[in-house]
Structure 1
Amino acid sequence: MRLSISCLFASFACAVLADAVGRVSTRGVTPQKREVPAGYVTTSGAGFELDGEPFYFVGTNAFWLPLLITEDDVDATFQTMAGAGIKVARTWAFNAINATQLPDVLSTNLTYYQVWNNSDWTLNEGPQGLQRLDYVVSAAEKYGIRLILTFGYGGMELYIYHILGNHATHDEFYTNPTIIASYQSYAQSIVERYKSSSAVFAWELMNEARCAGDSLPSGPNCVPGSETLTTWYQLQSDFVRSLDPYHMITTGGEGQFYWAVPDTYWYNGTLVSDFNFNGEAGEDFEASLSLPNIDFGTYHLYPQTWYPELDYPGSNFSVEDWGLGWIEAHANTAAYVGKPLLIEEFGVTGLDNKSSIYPVWYNSPSGIQPWQFGELNLTEDGGNRLIQYTDQIYQGASPNDGFTFYINQTSVWDIFTAAAAVQSYRSG
């Protein structure tokens, strides 16, 4: 059964309907409004609020901002964002390296915050380290843009390799006491450094936490129903709240569900249980959103990447329609729990796909953040620089992973700026 698209705006009635068809369990919380200093964004029921007024926004992702070398390029990027009406930008507050990489990192001027050596790391607070993130935060303040600062992602496996070795499973990151203490030490370094800044929109515990990693498999203790990630989210959100009573906290999760009756699809004559709904990834969106110190929900949306076996020329799979169903499911759950919701990452490849699908997906109760923002005319190293891995500045353009959109792609850019204007109007 498919829910009506009218449920996109997350009425309580839609949540009840979703529960009736098995999409939302009967777990609910009553979020308490938290008093915060002037200039801090907070939550008010199922929405965001700034200084007593509703705060709706179009945001974006720009993980590469702290990796820029020159302050001029940081300023230019924020100027473009502000001109487009962007209110929130999400970026990485981490970049870790092994000590053996240090000579190459120094020679390429890569931004790095942690240097791992044996089973511990040292913090780089110097001009090639946190001082660059300092400037990003101060520039965000100057241009009136708020930041979601994420504490980690794939780099979590450095914790595992250095503390437990190569034979551990990925999910031990969430349960091993030594790793948890190390993660918390780093998170505390970031929180303590920026917790007095109104430019911080929210702290984010991890980007796309899953049972399995890029290199390491999951273990038997991280399976559907184990709630390993939910327990970790609670522990870490409680810890961050103990450090900072004012800024919001969120998970950074992709938003996978753990439904009693998961969605299925046919592939090669076999009925497949959908990993986005069966708990296989380790997430339980409703359970994590219900945690007392998780202030709002996040979810990501990449049907082309998630279902390549279904998305091919001539297939009956619709990227647009699948995305609408995913949006509905999260809107219904957030409405039932009573907290705000952010489409934190979404993307499709191909200019025509972006132009036709994004306007349909842009409907959102509170906030939307496409992946990812692109800046032109960057000047560092003459506009050509390999940053890290395959990410590069090329002919003045920030990293392009196929999802990136730039100001000269007017068919997409105009959709983005029009949505920002609507959200600004809704904010009053």
Structure 2
Amino acid sequence: MLALQFVTLLLSAAALAFPGSSKRSIPRGFVSTRGSQFELDGKPFAFVGANSYWLPLLTTNDDVEKTFKSMQQAGIKVLRTWGFNAINGSELVGALESGLTYYQVWNSSEWTLNDGPQGLQRLDNVIETAGKYGIKVILAFTNNWVGYGGAELYINWIAGAGNTHDVFFTDPRIIASYQKYVRTIVNRYKNSPNIFAWELMNEARCLGDMLPAGPNCVAGTNVVPKWYRQQSDFVKSLDPHHLITTGGEGHFFWKNPVKYWFNGTLVSDYNFNGQAGEDFDKDLLLPNIDFGTYHLYPQSWYSNLDTPGSNFSVEQWGLGWIDDHAISAKKANKPVILEEFGVGGLDNKTNIYPSWVQRALDTKHA
């Protein structure tokens, strides 16, 4: 879910160090992992972060500077933002008139890169300014959703009409195009200590906004986990030093998934039955996925239950979701972060946010 209406945070709590040494020689200033904790230059690195996907869209350096100054004053140590923004060629005139930031223009099955002052130079400025204020950046390569030019632009321009959303993860032409863009971004910043981690995709799912999932991407087919493996291996081949994560929402594929009653029917829970395409426990074990991510939006995920008079508790469900991912993190002996969360309503925020944040901190796998 794009965090348009919610305040969202990244949370990590340093856990006790586990035996073992770093898998590779880490350049100074690069974040690494040791067991279930993050480290920076050999010391535990715990942080509160912010999702500011919109930061590279700011059109003045002054606005970027003021944003980072505010983050620093608030104790923010990690920023998560988009390393993508793509448009159709038909939108180019409007983008030039409005000053919109864009990195890719699609006119055919081949996109054109914009590395000029209205393009990647703005992202350059964000990465550079982050370092000035002591903030590390998690950079996502693309979006599962339509917003800001995500997966379905690749699908529409390369695979064409009539395809399901999941061809993004399997079509060799789409994968090659995605990797071409990833190579551009990684090579541009791979020597920068201002990068915290690369994120393969924001919220990968079998389905998208406009296109449904196909029969090849259902529970148990491993389409998304195989893509995670393929792309994390690819990124690590380009950059052996920065961390890599999925950017996923943390959906599980449990042998005995959670069920709940709705309108007198026992319903299999989408977040636990593998339908989304992820397999959080399995994905976290991939050799080049250095830490896991999960998101938390029970109001929208269970809108049919979160109604007046219902005994469904947004707060309690969220606490359970946090616990489930902490258990998975402990088994994998890797860090996990609560990367996005949100609820609507001021009273909800006041009451629920402290509860969720404290639970995430208490688990020490936040």
- Please give the TM-score of this superposition, normalised by the length of structure 1: 0.78
SS of the residue 1:118 aligns to: coil
**Which residue in the other structure is 2:77 paired with?**
87
Deviates more, 1:352-361 or 1:54-63: 352-361
Structure 1, residues 250-275: CA drift from partner, whole Å, max 9, x if none? 00000000000000111111111000
Structure 1, residues 161-197: CA drift from partner, whole Å, max 9, x if none? 0011121110000000000000000011000001111
Structure 2 runs not aligned, ≥5 long: 1-12
**Which residue in the other structure is 1:227 paired with?**
222
Q: Could you tell me whether the CA contact under 8 Å between 1:341 and 1:366 is conserved in 2?
A: no
Whole-Å separation in 1 of the counterparts to 2:27 and 2:14? 29
Does residue 60 of the first structure (1) align with residue 50 of the second (2)?
yes
Mapping of residues 12-411 of structure 1, within 5 Å: 33-153=23-143, 154=145, 155-362=150-357, 363-364=360-361, 365=363
Deviates more, 1:134-143 or 1:351-360: 351-360
Q: Could you tell me whether the CA contact under 8 Å between 1:152 and 1:207 is conserved in 2?
A: yes
Whole-Å separation in 2 of the counterparts to 1:83 and 1:32? 32
The structure with more radius of gyration: 1
Question: How far 1:76 sits from its partner (Å)?
Answer: 0.3
**Which residue in the other structure is 2:8 paired with?**
none
Q: Could you tell me whether the CA contact under 8 Å between 1:56 and 1:367 is conserved in 2?
A: no
SS of the residue 1:245 aligns to: coil
Whole-Å separation in 2 of the counterparts to 1:321 and 1:278? 20
RMSD: 1.7
Whole-Å separation in 2 of the counterparts to 1:35 and 1:57? 23
Question: How far 1:360 sits from its partner (Å)?
Answer: 1.1
Whole-Å separation in 1 of the counterparts to 2:160 and 2:334? 39
Q: Could you tell me whether the CA contact under 8 Å between 1:43 and 1:340 is conserved in 2?
A: yes
Whole-Å separation in 2 of the counterparts to 1:125 and 1:330? 38
Q: Could you tell me whether the CA contact under 8 Å between 1:209 and 1:229 is conserved in 2?
A: yes
SS of the residue 2:177 aligns to: helix
SS of the residue 1:58 aligns to: strand
Structure 1 runs not aligned, ≥5 long: 1-8, 13-29, 369-428
Number of corresponding residues: 344
SS of the residue 2:349 aligns to: helix
- Between the two structures, name the one with larger relative contact order (CA 8 Å, sep ≥ 6): 1
SS of the residue 2:96 aligns to: helix
Which amino acid counterpart does residue 62 of structure 2 have in structure 1? D
Whole-Å separation in 1 of the counterparts to 2:364 and 2:293? 11
Which amino acid counterpart does residue 118 of structure 1 have in structure 2? S
SS of the residue 1:290 aligns to: coil
- Please give the TM-score of this superposition, normalised by the length of structure 2: 0.91
Question: How far 1:117 sits from its partner (Å)?
Answer: 1.0
Whole-Å separation in 1 of the counterparts to 2:34 and 2:14? 15
Amino-acid identity (%): 63
SS of the residue 1:110 aligns to: coil
Question: How far 1:135 sits from its partner (Å)?
Answer: 0.3
